[in-house]
Amino acid sequence: MSEKTAIASCTQQRYEIHQTDLPLSCPMPNMEHWDAHPRVYLDVESKGQVNCPYCGANFVLVD
């Protein structure tokens, strides 16, 4: 997800996250979030993956 192009929020079920994407929030800053849920910050570093409590998207830290 290191690219900074805008993507639609909450459209994928799995996102690969890099250290450069931290701190992690859903929707992420590069997501068009006008129609998404409220922004929530997620702790992906402690377990290597985390699910968003709003949309269920799974974020996996790959590096």
Give residue-wise pLDDT tens across range 4-58: 566 666 667 899 999 999 999 999 888 876 667 899 999 999 999 999 999 999 9
Give residue-wise pLDDT tens across range 31-46: 876 667 899 999 999 9
Amino acid at 27: P
* Domain span at 13: 7-61
∠ CA(24), CA(30), CA(36), 5° rounding?
80
Q: What is the CATH number of the domain that holds 53?
A: 2.60.260
Number of domains in the chain: 1
Classify residue 20: in a domain, yes or no.
yes
